Structure 1
Amino acid sequence: MNYLEDHTLYYKKSCPFCVKVLRFMEANDITMDKRDTLQPGNEQDLIRVGGKKQVPCLVVAGKPLYESDDIVAYLREKVAAA
């Protein structure tokens, strides 16, 4: 299992782009802190970090990364380096 510290994924279960990222994580045994923006407070946390409520958003060391393809590419690189 690849646990990525200092990584947080903000997502919505109903978002197909979020599902794409979550499936990639599952297929590659990647875990990290995940926050559903439909849960109280999580959307406001996301806005505070990135300035918008767009999901999926991967926050790495306090810096937001948007777009599912970019997130998957980042995670693919991270897993390959591990």
Structure 2
Amino acid sequence: TCYKVFRREVIQSITIEEDRFGFEPEVTAKIAAKGCRVYEVGISYDGRTYDDGKKIGWRDGVRAIVCILKYSPILHRSRRR
């Protein structure tokens, strides 16, 4: 878990399609594809349990993997050749 910080003009220059757990891989991949450096700053937190209201399930993990593959600059680079 981390925070990512972007300059306004950088984040406004991309079109965001995803939400939930697809948002982070999409934004990271699109920013990296523009040649921008991505810095992550780790944070500490106490995660919620399901009893506390944790809402993530296995489908969210699958969706995140699909988005990583969909927006991966490495995969897109090899398709263009």
TM-score when normalising by structure 2: 0.27
Larger of the two Rg values belongs to structure: 2
- Structure showing the higher strand proportion among its residues: 1
